Amino acid sequence: VSLLILSLFSVHVGYMLCIKNSSLVESASSHGQIVTKSEIFKKKLNCHLIRNGVGSHVWAGRGGELKDKMTELMPLIPVLDQYKSDTRTIVQLKEEVRNLSGSLLQIQEEMGAYDYEELQQRVLILEARLHACMQKLGCGKLTGISNPITIRASGSRFGSWMTDTMAPSSDSRVWYMDGYYKGRRVLEYRTLNDFITGQNFVQHLLPHPWAGTGHVVFNGSLYYNKYQSNIVVKYHFRSRSIVVQRSLNTAGYNNTFPYSWGGFSDIDFMVDENGLWAVYTTNQNAGNIVVSRMDPMTLEILRSWDTGYPKRSAGESFMICGTLYVTNSHLAGAKIYFAYYTNTSSYEYTDIPFHNQYSHISMLDYNPRERVLYTWNNGHQVIYNVTLFHVIKTSGEL
């Protein structure tokens, strides 16, 4: 599909350049200029021939437009005939015009049924089929993590960056929050490329400062932990206001139960294919990780699980398809060491290595839209691709 669209775009650009060049020939008012413009005329015909060779199977339905353009070009040939010093070029140009016109007629006769609109419709149908195929890829089990891809080096040692996990694919905005406590400044970049170059951003000033780096952007809102409290906040970017805030009763805060790296990382928001989650712990759970499914509208807890894994022994954690994956360290040599399955309320110890390139991870989150891990690693913004084990279900299966 991408190649077809690229072909359509490339041919269209070539055609527009040809038309632009031809207008220079047609506007020539003196005989002295016509000799110079004859070279532009020749370039125009070369463009038409390239178009015919590369994209004739796609642009058959637009052949009439080129045929009309050939009619407009024909009167230029007698003018060029006045200049006998370039007889060979003139003869060649005449022949190319005739050949191109004949080719266009043949294309129209053989492929007239496949006009541009019909081809476009076929592309849309193909895209729909591909999308349906992707939908059949059910949630999977994490089996591998790629080498890191460094997007940018910026900010302090600790921080977080993210995209909206619920936004359409055309929305590539990036949010950037430097630091792990007392911060209120959120930068919103228009595109990933703008984020890489550090340009085209707007600033949001939060009403309350944040704690930790466990923030997420979900469906146009930022979810974060209010500094020096166990209050969780939903801040709506468009209205620039707090929509709702709620206390996570008995949840530790202010470095009571952080990850192994500290940094006020007591409460960690996450988003996966199933929705919004919060990871934290309480005295009642003896410092073990609690994972809670949350209502993104009200911030009410829908259900909680006690994983039995001590939070202070975890470097970071993230959710994929309802499974909490925990690293054994935030330093070099870290690996995915523990997995808790909320669908069965069971766990297992794992051994999934990944390259901790900059040796100090302070944020690690999964993006279900892109199926990548976002990481803040010692002042570097990094992503990892993940490998999931899938079972592909066909429509005929129960």
pLDDT in tens, 193-209: 999 999 999 999 999 99
C-alpha distances in angstroms, 303 versus 277, 342, 391?
A: 10, 10, 27
The whole-number pLDDT of residue 80 equals 52
pLDDT over 70 percentage in the chain: 64
What pTM was computed for the model? Answer: 0.66
- Residue 278 or residue 18, greater confidence: 278
Q: Are 17 and 47 in contact (CB under 8 A)?
A: yes
The whole-number pLDDT of residue 333 equals 87
- Residue 221 or residue 54, greater confidence: 221
Q: Are 252 and 280 in contact (CB under 8 A)?
A: yes
- Checking if the pLDDT of 135 tops 70, the result is no
The whole-number pLDDT of residue 87 equals 59
Mean pLDDT for the chain? 80
Mean pLDDT is lowest, of 29-43, 51-65, 222-236, 260-274, for 29-43
Q: Are 375 and 355 in contact (CB under 8 A)?
A: no
Length of the chain: 398
- Residue 20 or residue 236, greater confidence: 236
One-letter amino acid for residue 277 of the chain = W
Joined together, the tokens standing for residue 53 give 């060779």
- Checking if the pLDDT of 4 tops 60, the result is no
294: burial class by Cβ within 10 Å (0-12, 13-18, 19+)?
buried
Structure-token match 């353009």, residue found: 69
The whole-number pLDDT of residue 134 equals 54
Q: How far apart are CA 188 and CA 21, in angstroms?
A: 42
- Residue 323 or residue 52, greater confidence: 323
Kind and range of the H or E run holding 347: strand 346-353
Joined together, the tokens standing for residue 113 give 């049924």
- Provide the sign of the torsion angle of the four alpha carbons 295, 300, 305, 311, taken in this order: positive
Residues facing residue 203 across a β-bridge: 187
Segment 282-308, tens digit of pLDDT:
999 999 999 999 999 999 999 999 999
The whole-number pLDDT of residue 88 equals 63
Segment 244-259, tens digit of pLDDT:
999 999 999 999 999 9
pLDDT band at 352 (very low <50, low <70, confident <90, very high): very high
Residue 299's contacts (CB-CB under 8 Å, 6 or more residues apart) are 223, 232, 234, 244, 245, 246
